[in-house]
């Protein structure tokens, strides 16, 4: 690692935290889209600033950019307050309008000046380490400046300190006004002030971070970590900490992904953010896909290196042919290794990931259904002394189960040593007896939740 | 939280943090921006310097996005050579700041006298940056770079001079060849319609009337009126062919062709010109000289 790489990682970690804090509140307030809206409408601020000072490098442009962001929020709030349109619609109405005014102003008045967001803000993390803050410069004298380190660290650092101070000071107020604006108003602190305060902080953070890391990454760092954290916890403090952690983690690992691939830094980070979200949202499918891609990439990379060492020159080939050349060197054994690696990785990922996701949810519901049926079945056996009621064939008619289902239930009961079958007559074992009795106790005393815990003690196999 | 830590360490396992050993071969480390400058430096420097280009073939300098590897290239560079005149956009500000960090920063466009540059209609201080299309300017730039290199690495003065002389001779030969080819084309047929205003110097040197659909910066879009006006112009002047550029999407030129066709006049797309970037490395068009000859041949063949 050289110092430029370290600086990039410091900057991106600071940006990730500075974005995650307002981002968490935006996600909770269902206002995620506002971050995208602000990052567009700042163009208008930049254009107006340019007409005032006629200098692209002036800091006034940045100030007006942040102001344009706040104007966006005020307009959205104003339209939405009428109650005629919903919040997301209001956002979608306001920012394209402001952005378009900016575009028209450029087209009419400054068509041959290279004026757009890119020309005022660097927006590329790769160059942030070289963009130093310099003071005391004497015009025309080299080495006369005092270097204070990268500008981005100063800008983002300041924003982060302000955000953190505000967060700690107004944490209680923010919390109440986010979850219950009515209560906040009744308790005497205006939810409107909280709202505009939060939006101002978001707007300044977006403009500041935009300069350092570019538009897509700002939006991604604001929303993705917070959305992921929201799936993992319902506690605000934990959510804030988790989204900071996830943001920094994705940023750093995304950086190294970019290093390995020699690709765009912002692109790699956003990809990692998306994968993190998917891992939490739908762990099983995602971990399988991720594992397969990692396994393939691993082998691909090794062959690529090997071919390079042997002096095969494919620098000039288009990407498709490059991939083809490398894959044509694969042999069957590699594919088997590849699959093995993918399977073991996927297993590991599934094992360590929180048990969530659509498939897991479906599986869980089915399991619950079967276990409730098992309980019904056991109760039935316990309540009937007469053999006719306990005959295997009889169960179908009596409890009105289909054959397949009743077979599943009986098998499950047998596997767990809860029943025995003599001459097609089912009877409870001692263990089955005990389980049923306890279950009845819990149902009578209204402690249904305890049954779940009890199942862990009794079941060798789950439904 | 334990689980999250677990994931963290797992991810770390896949990250190979191989520490980069700064290659110090003793050679002068030069980083260049556009492919044209990279080609020039490879010609002058030969084996005694190490040249690394930031932008690849087909990359529009206005819209260039850096990759992770570019950070290390810039970090390890002794010299950064760029085009200037706002071709590289915001990057130039950063280069200027790097100048104050003990790196040598050279703008190729400094070699050319400001009076010879084509300036913007409205803002006198901004110039057309596509100077490489004027072979004489490119020769001036070459001489300037040779002098600068001699200052930076005096031990290899002889090599730079020898290589530089050869390259300048090649450029002279190119100039003659190109003039011969263009002479086949009558002056009234010398109208060049392209996607963006990259060929103004080319037009100035070879007496072409140059019309770009998009203006100087490729970031702006062509307006509806621009397309209609240009379509009328093409019909009026009986232009035979219009051209697409390798670093600009074909869409706008296709739209222009359709607009012309709707007015019952046929104009063909004469081929792809290399404007802001050279062709793929290893091919003929991957060098400045090859690119120039290719462009001229394509233009003349299509307009003849």
Per-residue model confidence as pLDDT tens digits over A156-193:
999 999 999 999 999 988 899 888 888 888 888 888 88
Q: pTM of the full predicted structure? A: 0.71
CA of A266: which chain B residue's CA is closest?
B67
pLDDT, position A353 = 61
Query: CA-CA distance, B160 to B43, in Å (whole number)?
Result: 9
pLDDT, position B21 = 41
Q: How many residues does chain B have?
A: 304
pLDDT, position B38 = 92
Query: CA-CA distance, A47 to A113, in Å (whole number)?
Result: 11
Facing B19 at nearest CB: one of A1, A57, A114: A1
Going by the DSSP 8-state scheme, the letter that residue B148 receives in this structure is: H
Residue A151 tokens, joined: 């500008």
pLDDT, position A110 = 61
Q: Which of A292-301, B157-166, B206-215 has the lowest mean pLDDT?
A: A292-301
Q: How far is B99 from chain A (nearest CA, A)?
A: 8
Instruction: Quickly state the pLDDT bin for A463 (edges 50, 70, 90).
Output: low
pLDDT, position A132 = 76
Contact, A157 vs B128, CB < 8 A? no
- Residue B117 gets the label, from left (phi > 0), alpha (psi -120 to 50) or beta, of beta
Instruction: Quickly state the pLDDT bin for A19 (edges 50, 70, 90).
Output: very high
Which site among B23, B38, B57, B97 would you substitute to test the A interface, given the most A Cβ atoms closer than 10 Å to its Cβ?
A: B97
Q: Which of A99-103, A323-327, B242-246 has the lowest mean pLDDT?
A: A323-327
* Residues facing residue A244 across a β-bridge: none
3-state secondary structure of B283: coil
Instruction: Tell me the backbone φ, ψ of residue A422, rounded to 5 degrees.
Output: -120, 120
Q: Which of A6-20, A114-128, B50-64 has the lowest mean pLDDT?
A: A114-128
Q: Could you tell me if B119 lies within 8 Å of chain A, comparing CB atoms?
A: no
Residue A356 has pLDDT above 50, yes or no: yes
Tens digit of each residue's pLDDT (9 = 90 or more) over B172-224: 999 999 999 999 999 888 999 988 778 889 998 999 988 888 765 554 566 67
pLDDT, position B22 = 45
Which site among B71, B129, B212 would you substitute to test the A interface, given the most A Cβ atoms closer than 10 Å to its Cβ?
A: B71
- State how beta strands A146-150 and A132-135 pair: antiparallel
- State how beta strands B209-212 and B191-194 pair: parallel
pLDDT, position A165 = 94
Going by the DSSP 8-state scheme, the letter that residue B87 receives in this structure is: T
**Contact between A145 and B122 using a beta-carbon 8 Å cutoff:** no
Average pLDDT on A341-351 reads 71
Q: Which of A62-76, A173-187, A235-249, A309-323 has the lowest mean pLDDT?
A: A309-323
Instruction: Quickly state the pLDDT bin for A21 (edges 50, 70, 90).
Output: very high
CA of A146: which chain B residue's CA is closest?
B100
Contact, B51 vs B42, CB < 8 A? yes
pLDDT, position B298 = 93
CA of B279: which chain A residue's CA is closest?
A316
Average pLDDT on A419-438 reads 81
Q: Give chain A positions within 8 Å (CB) of B7.
A: 279, 352-353
CA of A280: which chain B residue's CA is closest?
B4
Q: Which of A241-255, A405-419, B44-58, B140-154 has the lowest mean pLDDT?
A: A405-419
The beta strand positions in A142-198, using DSSP E, are 146-150
Residue B145 has pLDDT above 90, yes or no: yes
Residue A434 has pLDDT above 50, yes or no: yes
B33: which residues sit within 8 A by CB, 6+ positions away?
B53, B54, B55, B61, B64, B80, B81, B82, B83, B87, B88, B91
Query: CA-CA distance, A155 to A30, in Å (whole number)?
Result: 28
**Contact between B126 and A131 using a beta-carbon 8 Å cutoff:** no
Q: What percent of chain A has pLDDT over 70?
A: 83
Q: Give chain B positions within 8 Å (CB) of A114.
A: 62, 86, 89, 126, 216-217, 219
* Residues A371, A376, A381, A387, CA torsion sign: negative
pLDDT, position A358 = 60
Of A272 and A312, more confident: A272
Q: Which of A100-104, A129-133, A205-209, B228-232 has the lowest mean pLDDT?
A: A129-133
Instruction: Quickly state the pLDDT bin for B285 (edges 50, 70, 90).
Output: confident
Cβ pairs bridging A and B (under 8 Å): 134
Contact, B114 vs B128, CB < 8 A? no
Tens digit of each residue's pLDDT (9 = 90 or more) over A243-286: 999 999 999 999 998 888 888 888 899 999 998 888 888 777 77
Q: Could you tell me if B59 lies within 8 Å of chain A, comparing CB atoms?
A: no
**Contact between A353 and B3 using a beta-carbon 8 Å cutoff:** yes
**Contact between A1 and B22 using a beta-carbon 8 Å cutoff:** no
Q: Could you tell me if B232 lies within 8 Å of chain A, comparing CB atoms?
A: no
Q: What percent of chain B has pLDDT over 70?
A: 86
State the Cα torsion A225-A227-A229-A234 to the nearest 10°: 150
Q: Which of A241-250, B8-17, B159-168 has the lowest mean pLDDT?
A: B8-17
**What angle, rounded to 10 degrees, do the helices at A3-28 and A236-261 form?**
140
Going by the DSSP 8-state scheme, the letter that residue B277 receives in this structure is: S
Facing A145 at nearest CB: one of B22, B70, B100: B100
Q: How far is A126 from chain B (nearest CA, A)?
A: 6
Show the domains of chain B with their CATH numbers.
Answer: 28-178 (3.40.50.1980), 183-303 (3.40.50.1980)
Of A145 and B53, more confident: B53
Query: CA-CA distance, B10 to B8, in Å (whole number)?
Result: 5
Q: What percent of chain A has pLDDT over 90?
A: 18
Query: CA-CA distance, A251 to A270, in Å (whole number)?
Result: 8
pLDDT, position A111 = 59
Q: Is the ipTM of this complex over 0.85?
A: no
> Residue A45 half-sphere exposure, CB side, CA atoms within 13 Å?
26
């Amino acid at each position: 690692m050289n110092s430029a790489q370290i600086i990039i990682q410091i900057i991106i970690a600071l940006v990730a935290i500075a974005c995650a804090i307002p981002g968490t509140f935006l996600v909770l307030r269902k206002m995620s889209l506002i971050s995208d809206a602000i990052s567009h409408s700042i163009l208008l601020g930049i254009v107006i600033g340019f007409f005032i000072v006629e200098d692209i490098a002036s800091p006034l442009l940045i100030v007006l950019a942040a102001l344009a962001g706040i104007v966006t929020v005020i307009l959205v709030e104003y339209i939405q307050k009428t109650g005629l349109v919903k919040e997301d619609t209001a956002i979608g109405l306001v920012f394209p309008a402001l952005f378009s005014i900016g575009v028209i102003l450029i087209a009419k008045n400054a068509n041959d000046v290279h004026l757009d967001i890119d020309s005022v803000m660097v927006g590329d993390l790769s160059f942030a380490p070289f963009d130093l803050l310099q003071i005391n410069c004497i015009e025309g004298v080299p080495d006369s400046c005092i270097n204070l380190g990268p500008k981005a660290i100063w800008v983002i650092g300041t924003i982060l300190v302000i955000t953190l101070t505000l967060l700690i000071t107004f944490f209680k107020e923010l919390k109440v006004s986010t979850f219950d604006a009515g209560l906040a108003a009744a308790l005497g602190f205006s939810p409107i002030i909280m709202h505009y305060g939060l939006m101002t902080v978001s707007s300044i953070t977006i403009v500041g971070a935009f300069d350092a890391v570019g538009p897509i990454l700002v939006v991604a760092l604001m929303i993705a970590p917070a959305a992921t954290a929201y799936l993992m916890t319902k506690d605000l403090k934990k959510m804030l900490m988790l989204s900071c952690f996830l943001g920094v983690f994705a940023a750093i690992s995304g950086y190294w992904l970019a290093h390995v691939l020699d690709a765009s830094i912002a692109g790699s980070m956003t990809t990692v953010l998306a994968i993190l979200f998917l891992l939490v949202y739908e762990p099983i499918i995602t971990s399988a896909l991720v594992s397969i891609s990692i396994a393939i990439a691993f082998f691909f990379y090794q062959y690529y290196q090997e071919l390079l060492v042997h002096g095969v020159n494919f620098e000039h080939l288009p990407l498709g042919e490059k991939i083809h050349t490398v894959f044509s060197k694969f042999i069957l054994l590699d594919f088997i290794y590849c699959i093995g690696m993918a399977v073991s990785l996927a297993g590991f990922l599934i094992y360590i990931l929180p048990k969530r996701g659509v498939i897991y949810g479906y599986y869980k519901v089915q399991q619950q259904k079967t276990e409730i049926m098992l309980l019904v079945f056991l109760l039935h056996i316990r309540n009937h002394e007469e053999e006719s009621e306990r005959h295997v064939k009889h169960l179908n008619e009596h409890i009105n189960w289909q054959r397949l289902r009743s077979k599943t239930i009986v098998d499950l009961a047998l596997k767990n040593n809860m029943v025995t079958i003599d001459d097609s007559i089912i009877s409870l074992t001692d263990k089955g007896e005990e389980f049923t009795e306890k279950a009845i106790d819990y149902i009578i005393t209204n402690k249904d939740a305890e049954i779940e815990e009890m199942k862990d003690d009794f079941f060798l196999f789950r439904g | 939280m334990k689980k999250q830590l677990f994931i963290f360490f797992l991810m770390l396992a896949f990250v190979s943090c191989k520490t980069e050993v700064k290659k110090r071969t003793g050679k002068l480390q030069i980083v260049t921006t556009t492919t044209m400058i990279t080609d020039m430096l490879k010609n002058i420097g030969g084996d005694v310097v190490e040249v690394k280009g930031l932008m690849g073939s087909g990359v529009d300098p206005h819209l260039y996005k850096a990759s992770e590897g570019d950070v290390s290239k810039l970090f390890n560079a002794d010299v950064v050579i760029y085009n200037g005149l706002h071709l590289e956009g915001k990057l130039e500000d950063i280069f200027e700041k790097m100048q104050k960090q003990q790196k040598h920063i050279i703008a190729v466009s400094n070699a050319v006298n400001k009076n010879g540059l084509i300036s913007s209609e409205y803002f006198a201080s901004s110039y057309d940056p596509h100077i490489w299309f004027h072979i004489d300017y490119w020769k001036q730039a070459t001489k300037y770079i040779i002098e600068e290199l001699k200052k930076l690495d005096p031990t290899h003065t002889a090599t730079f001079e020898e290589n530089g002389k050869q390259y300048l001779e090649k450029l002279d030969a190119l100039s003659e060849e190109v003039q011969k080819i263009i002479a086949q084309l009558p002056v009234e047929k010398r109208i060049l319609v392209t996607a963006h205003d990259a060929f103004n110097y080319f037009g100035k040197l070879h007496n072409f009337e140059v019309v770009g659909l998009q203006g100087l910066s490729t970031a702006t879009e062509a307006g509806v009126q621009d397309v209609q006006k240009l379509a009328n112009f093409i019909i009026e002047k009986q232009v035979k062919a219009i051209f697409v550029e390798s670093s600009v999407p074909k869409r706008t030129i296709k739209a222009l062709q359709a607009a012309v066709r709707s007015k019952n006049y046929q104009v063909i797309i004469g081929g792809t010109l290399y404007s802001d970037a050279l062709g793929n490395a290893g091919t003929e068009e991957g060098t400045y000289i090859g690119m120039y000859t290719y462009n001229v041949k394509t233009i003349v063949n299509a307009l003849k």
